[in-house]
């Protein structure tokens, strides 16, 4: 795709690049970047102190740098700050970070050259991806992992090899026919400012969570249909004043079909409240997407070079906004997983399903799926530990200059883990749904083709028969299906 303005790299476009799409920067955009940089360099000649360009950083910002020191300063900014290590982000995650970093640079506030932006596109196209640490970024912004990013671009850091291991960047760049980039004035500090990593990971979390939300709707619809549950909780009149809940219940009604003879007057509470939790997750994701949009469009460089040719220090390196909504999504995901595990427990009850206890074909000689529920309980217990907000509990660093922190990357990591945990629970529920069908439960005739197709996918992947087997193999198969 051709990028003519920064707005062309919106969240959907960044996701496409993360998954392998290539981009070309338009000539007019590159010319605009170079014109802005020329004005920025002229402004620098005034001699007024500019944070991170003619001064040190953080607690050392009062130290002025002479002309000779300034020439090497942009490169040296990346050295001592590269203190991260494995585990590294995956290639898709790194590609997402690189394209979001590019988006921030072409916004214009950083005053970087068109050459640096072209270099980012070149390493993306060549697949020479920086090794970016996933954990332990205790800074007010993202300077630690972004120092790894900048170091890789300049040949002094590390990149990922084909096995996801970190190797020296210099030889890898040369092997790909790419010269290490030489940083000009202000380009080193520009690379380590902002929140491109949290923004990129938040986009990926939102996308992954929306896929899990769709899967959760399918699973819930299957459980309602196969247990012959009353559809009262899906009545459109009950969603008055809540358009999101109305959409969720409409989807579930269409998927599950009708049930003229419910097994009981009311299904368990876990079945009835599930649409509300799914609606809450959808609302939380909408709010996260809005925060991502603000991060993409906002001024995140510090100091930012503004249109009126001033250098202005900003707080654009703070990821608080993203961290807060990532936490909201994390808690919503954990809530969906908890209620899913509760429904799975109810599926062990013949009064709910109409088949053998514990979904066993012969209770006693065969255990059935009770151990599958135990695994889901263990997953949910671990998920509860992710619900502590990262934005609470700041710690001072940099001799007190950085006296609060957002820990936004930690918020992104807990959200990623919550998505993985929900998929674990959904895999258990899918296995129970498959077992229900094997024991004779059937879908109503007006169940949606989307649901029948998905359940047929599951049946095609799993062994035939309902007797005991090593259910963990089945669960892994279903996890792989959900991860696609």
Per-residue pLDDT tens digits for 194-241: 999 999 999 999 999 999 999 999 999 999 999 999 999 999 999 999
> Average pLDDT over the chain, rounded to whole?
93
Q: At 258, phi and psi to the nearest 5?
A: -100, 160
pLDDT of residue 54: 67
d(CA 65, CA 57): 11
Highest mean pLDDT among 38-42, 94-98, 385-389 belongs to 94-98
CB 436 within 8 A of CB 353: yes
Beta strands in 355-398 (DSSP E): none
What DSSP designation does 46 have? Answer: T
Using the structure block, give the residue that is written with the tokens 């009950």: 238
For residue 37, what is the enclosing H or E element? helix 27-44
- Percent of the chain residues past pLDDT 90, beyond the cut: 78
Residue 68 predicted with pLDDT over 70: no
Count the alpha carbons within 13 Å of 393 in the hemisphere toward its beta carbon.
8
Residue 52 predicted with pLDDT over 80: no
Q: State yes or no: cis peptide before 303, omega within 30 of 0.
A: yes
The neighbour count for residue 274, using CB atoms within 10 Å, is 26
CB 201 within 8 A of CB 135: no
The number of helix segments (H) and strand segments (E) in the chain equals 17, 6
DSSP 271-284: HHHHHHHHHHHHHH
d(CA 370, CA 159): 45
Residue 76 predicted with pLDDT over 80: no
Mean pLDDT, residues 310-323 taken together: 89
Q: Which of 275, 270, 267, 286 is nearest to 236 (CA)?
A: 275
pLDDT of residue 352: 97
β-strand partners of 479: none
pLDDT of residue 56: 66
CA-angle at 256, arms to 253 and 262, nearest 5°: 95
Using the structure block, give the residue that is written with the tokens 């269409």: 254
d(CA 390, CA 29): 38
Burial 160-183, CB ≥16 within 10 A → b, else e: beeeeebeebbebbeeeebebbeb
Residue 66 predicted with pLDDT over 70: no
Q: Which of 31, 39, 20 is nearest to 307 (CA)?
A: 39
Q: Dihedral of CA 95/92/418/253: which sign?
A: positive
At 29, list the tokens.
Answer: 């955009």
Q: What is the pLDDT of residues 132-148, one digit of tens each?
A: 999 877 777 899 999 99
Cα 269 to Cα 233, 274, 350: the distances in Å are 10, 8, 16
d(CA 82, CA 144): 5
Distance, first Cα to last Cα, the chain: 25
């Amino acid at each position: 795709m051709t990028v003519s303005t920064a707005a062309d790299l919106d969240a959907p476009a960044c996701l496409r690049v993360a998954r392998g799409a290539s981009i070309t920067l338009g000539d007019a955009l590159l010319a605009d970047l170079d014109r802005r940089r020329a004005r920025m360099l002229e402004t620098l000649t005034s001699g007024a102190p500019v944070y991170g360009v003619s001064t040190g950083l953080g607690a050392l910002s009062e130290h002025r740098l002479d002309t000779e020191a300034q020439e090497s300063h942009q490169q040296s900014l990346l050295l001592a700050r590269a203190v991260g290590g494995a585990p590294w982000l995956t290639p898709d995650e790194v590609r997402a970070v690189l394209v979001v970093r590019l988006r921030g640079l072409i916004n214009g506030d950083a005053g970087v050259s068109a050459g640096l932006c072209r270099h980012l596109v070149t390493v993306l196209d060549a697949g020479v991806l920086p090794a970016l640490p996933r954990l332990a970024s205790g800074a007010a912004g993202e300077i630690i992992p972004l120092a790894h990013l900048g170091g890789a671009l300049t040949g002094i850091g590390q990149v990922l090899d084909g096995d996801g291991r970190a190797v020296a960047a210099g030889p890898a760049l040369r092997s790909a026919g790419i010269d290490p980039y030489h940083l000009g004035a202000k380009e080193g500090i520009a690379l380590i400012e902002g929140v491109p990593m949290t923004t990129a990971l938040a986009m990926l979390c939102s996308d992954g969570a929306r896929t899990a939300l769709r899967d959760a709707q399918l699973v819930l619809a299957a459980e309602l249909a196969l247990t012959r549950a009353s559809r009262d909780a899906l009545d459109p009149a009950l969603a008055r004043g809540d358009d999101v809940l109305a959409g969720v219940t409409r989807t579930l009604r269409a998927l599950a079909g009708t049930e003229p003879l419910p097994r009981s007057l009311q299904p368990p509470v876990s079945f009835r409240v599930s649409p509300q939790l799914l609606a809450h997750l959808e609302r939380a994701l909408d709010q996260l997407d809005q925060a991502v949009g603000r991060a993409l469009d906002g001024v995140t460089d510090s100091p930012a070079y503004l249109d009126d040719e001033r250098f202005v220090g900003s707080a654009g390196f703070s990821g608080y906004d993203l961290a807060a909504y990532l936490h909201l999504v994390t808690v919503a995901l954990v809530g969906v997983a908890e209620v899913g595990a509760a429904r799975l427990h109810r599926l062990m009850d013949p009064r709910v399903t109409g088949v053998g206890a514990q979904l066993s074909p012969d209770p006693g000689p065969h255990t059935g799926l009770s151990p599958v529920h135990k695994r889901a309980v263990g997953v949910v217990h671990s998920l509860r530990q992710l619900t502590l907000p990262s934005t609470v509990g700041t710690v001072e660093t940099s001799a007190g200059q950085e006296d609060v922190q957002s820990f936004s990357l930690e918020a992104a990591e807990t959200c990623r883990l919550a998505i993985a945990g929900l998929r674990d629970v959904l895999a258990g529920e899918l296995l129970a749904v498959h077992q229900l069908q094997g024991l004779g439960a059937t879908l109503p005739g007006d169940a949606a083709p989307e649901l029948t197709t998905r359940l047929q996918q599951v049946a095609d992947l799993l062994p035939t028969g309902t007797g005991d087997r090593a259910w963990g193999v089945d669960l892994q198969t279903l996890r792989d299906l959900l991860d696609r």
